[in-house]
Amino acid sequence: MTTIPLTPSDLLTVGGLGIVVALLIQFLVKPFLSDKRILNVLCIVLALVIAVIITAIQGTLTGNGIVSTLLLGLAAGVSASGLYETITNIAGKLGVGPRTDESYLANAVADVFADKASHELVVALVKREINSQTPLTLKPK
């Protein structure tokens, strides 16, 4: 397939369904989720639902058709989820995106400190610690 999946037969391939699911998750689901940890499960569920709906519309949702449809949906969901996770993790290792070390530390600090002044102070200290060669030592009172 060298084109965007537009027909039902194009969508009933692992690649076609995977692309559609990844795009739907990225632009229609992800912006509205506060907890991003369920994205992988949502990819698989959405792929299964779309595969079953398209197969039912085509009228081939019987016997072996249901098994092959479920396997197709599972494979497409896993591939869509895996592709997104792989790209995000590689970008994070390169220092770009939401999975950088600084981003993880800033989010952890935000969870600990509720007031903005304390949060900004600790974030500045953490960034200084990451960028400096001499470790910062905090001594208890």
Torsion angle defined by CA atoms of residues 27, 28, 31 and 37, in that order, rounded to the nearest 10 degrees: -100
State percent of the chain over pLDDT 70.
79
Average pLDDT over residues 34-48: 84
User: Which of 7-16, 28-37, 77-86, 114-123 shows the lowest per-residue confidence on average (mean pLDDT)?
Assistant: 114-123
Buried b (16+ CB within 10 A) or exposed e, 79-101: bbbeebeeebeeebeeeeeebbe
Rounded to two decimals, the pTM is: 0.61
